[in-house]
Amino acid sequence: MGGVTEPAIRVRQNAWTLSQSDPWHPTIYWYERAFDVLKKNEDVNDPRSLLAIANIHGTELDPNQWPPQIGVRGWNACQHASWYFLPWHRIYLHYYETILRDIIDKKLHGPSDWALPFWFYDPTTPATLALPPAFLAPLNRDGDENALYTSRRETSIMAGGRVNKDDVETSGWPNRFSSQSPFTPTFGGPQTGWSHRGSTVGSLEREPHGLVHGDVGGPFGLMSLFETAAQDPIFWLHHANIDRLWDVWRNGQGHQNPIDSAWLTRPFNFGFGADQLSMLVGQTVDTTAAPLDYRYEGVPVPTVPSVGGGLGLDGGPEEAVVEDIAPELVGASDGPVPLTGSRTSVRVDVTPPGGPLGLAPEEPPAHVFLTLQNVRGKDVGMRSYAVYIEAPSDVELDSMPHLLAGRFSTFGVMEASQSDEWEPGNGLTFSFDITSIVQGLQAVDAWDPATLNVTVVPQTEVGQGEPGVLEIGQIGVYYG
Ligand code: C2O
């Protein structure tokens, strides 16, 4: 093997750190140049056009107008509300990065080892909550039209405003990557089959992922819909950060990726022609192995258990598997709850569980989950909401973080409300682990086991003339 060297592991860097030395740091400069090449290619039948790449994520084009090579699920294929959300987007980023690197190297004669930077909106460093400056300037470094600029973003963001700091807090993620139950809160999403629109959203997909889509896209911008999101050049830096956060989570104590073969051996195909890429989910778990060959600046590479046969099929490792017990419904709202432009409170009656989780009435449950089930909408712009438990009606809720169950945006709700031959259109479900809130209330004798008050507070201005409807099908309380 003399002379053959290991492929270099490329490092994806923090776009804000780069921007501080130079808004047009070479990594960002070459990104703009290459994105411009994709954007100027308006031939949707050419896999190296921005539209052909973005349509893999989502498109409104009729399948009859798709290039024949792309096949029936080659476009409109992003995986959401599913345990495939993270690996699918990891492969998608790799597909995109490989094309850009090739354009930068071969066509633009730039560096040969370019890697996608990430946008780390760090709540402890407020300046990073704005878009990096290269995404706001109408002109690029050479004084030409800047391909990273688009007016189809939230107006305040384009004026240099910041995403909501509370939307990018990353504490309190579940230890569990996935669950068979759609009501158990998970980090990565529930166990599903192919899932473009999906049903239950994993915690990372909800916070900060979906919230940042909303903060950047605003009511009707590119980032606010599956069908347009990947046309915004910031989409890719946002997703690189989400991909990085997966590694950050993996480095946490007791955090394991799934070892199920349904996850590991799931194939996904991208693109067509010379750039066509096909990968198994099992090939995404170690980013420093071929074909991915990258890592993130500042994140130690998570140790990956050596799995038999490369994919954990013939005798996987001994892993500390977190028990997966289906939670039991103990209370539900009487009917649908409309989501409006003002604060809404709903009282849910709770009856002690009778099933396997049966408890003596005074016994506190081990886990309490709150679910906002089947959130559906039509013809409304992007919105986000915060959800509180036992919120006093006369108090500013910003001052009550100990009662905050979590936040969500409606990114994906419009999509998940439409049915097609594969998916029923039942909307999205958000599930929150409220155990520590309940324990806090118990500690001060303020917990009533027979009832739970849930308050949903809009975080965004709701457009006056918006004709559409948005509602939660049911609010559920589960013991686990
Ligand atoms: Cu497939 Cu951030 O979306």
- Closest atom of ligand 1 to CA, residue 213: 2
The per-residue pLDDT for 307 is 47
pLDDT of 26 higher than 60: yes
pLDDT of 1 higher than 60: no
> Would the CB of 209 count as within 6 Å of ligand 1?
yes
Six token digits for residue 202: 């994993």
Tokens 């911008």 found at: 221
> Would the CB of 240 count as within 6 Å of ligand 1?
no
> Would the CB of 229 count as within 6 Å of ligand 1?
yes
> Would the CB of 101 count as within 6 Å of ligand 1?
no
> Would the CB of 386 count as within 6 Å of ligand 1?
no
- Closest atom of ligand 1 to CA, residue 89: 1
Q: Across all residues in the chain, what is the average pLDDT?
A: 92
Confidence of residue 362 (pLDDT cuts 50, 70, 90): low
By the 8 A CB rule, do 31 and 148 touch? yes
Query: How do the residues of the chain divide into helix, strand and coil, expressed in percent and rounded to 5?
Result: 30, 15, 50
pLDDT of 154 higher than 60: yes
Rounded average pLDDT over 71-95: 96
Six token digits for residue 328: 């039991």
- Residue 316: CB partners within 8 Å, gap ≥ 6? 259, 305, 307, 308
CA of 142 to the centre of ligand 1 (A): 31
> Would the CB of 70 count as within 6 Å of ligand 1?
no
> Would the CB of 57 count as within 6 Å of ligand 1?
yes
DSSP 358-370: ---TTSPPS-EEE
- Closest atom of ligand 1 to CA, residue 239: 2
- Closest atom of ligand 1 to CA, residue 242: 2
Confidence of residue 239 (pLDDT cuts 50, 70, 90): very high
By the 8 A CB rule, do 457 and 406 touch? no
CA of 83 to the centre of ligand 1 (A): 13
The per-residue pLDDT for 460 is 86
What is d(CA 79, CA 91) in angstroms, rounded to the nearest whole number? 11
Radius of gyration of the chain (CA): 23
Residue, of 282 and 301, whose pLDDT is higher: 282
Q: Which pLDDT tens digit goes with each residue over 393-438?
A: 877 887 899 999 999 999 999 999 998 888 889 999 999 999 999 9
> Would the CB of 196 count as within 6 Å of ligand 1?
no
The per-residue pLDDT for 96 is 98
By the 8 A CB rule, do 14 and 297 touch? yes
Residue, of 395 and 182, whose pLDDT is higher: 182
> Would the CB of 197 count as within 6 Å of ligand 1?
no
CA of 390 to the centre of ligand 1 (A): 32
State whether residue 448 is helix, strand or coil. Answer: coil
> Would the CB of 213 count as within 6 Å of ligand 1?
yes
Six token digits for residue 371: 């679910």
Would the CA dihedral through 39, 43, 47, 48 be positive or negative? Answer: negative
> Would the CB of 234 count as within 6 Å of ligand 1?
no
CA of 210 to the centre of ligand 1 (A): 8
What is d(CA 63, CA 379) in angstroms, rounded to the nearest whole number? 23
Rounded average pLDDT over 237-265: 96
Six token digits for residue 242: 């989400």
Q: Which pLDDT tens digit goes with each residue over 287-331?
A: 999 999 999 999 998 886 644 434 444 334 444 456 788 999 999
For atom 3 of ligand 1, the residue with the nearest CA is: 226
CA of 468 to the centre of ligand 1 (A): 23
- Residue 471: CB partners within 8 Å, gap ≥ 6? 336, 337, 338, 339, 375, 376, 377
Confidence of residue 35 (pLDDT cuts 50, 70, 90): very high
What is d(CA 59, CA 228) in angstroms, rounded to the nearest whole number? 7
Confidence of residue 359 (pLDDT cuts 50, 70, 90): low
What is d(CA 59, CA 77) in angstroms, rounded to the nearest whole number? 9
What is d(CA 57, CA 194) in angstroms, rounded to the nearest whole number? 14
Of 257, 275, 302, 234, nearest to 94 by C-alpha is 275
- Closest atom of ligand 1 to CA, residue 57: 1
CA of 218 to the centre of ligand 1 (A): 15
For atom 1 of ligand 1, the residue with the nearest CA is: 78
Angle at which helices 85-102 and 26-40 cross, to 10°? 90
- Residue 12: CB partners within 8 Å, gap ≥ 6? 115, 116, 117, 118, 240, 244, 294, 295, 296, 297
The per-residue pLDDT for 175 is 93
CA of 85 to the centre of ligand 1 (A): 8
DSSP 384-434: EEEEEES--TTS-GGG-GGGEEEEEE-TTHHHHTS--SS-----EEEEEE-
Rounded average pLDDT over 67-75: 90
Rounded average pLDDT over 67-87: 94
Beta-bridge partners for 453 = 347
What is d(CA 136, CA 100) in angstroms, rounded to the nearest whole number? 21
Of 256, 267, 270, 259, nearest to 193 by C-alpha is 267
Of all residues in the chain, what percent carry a pLDDT higher than 90? 80
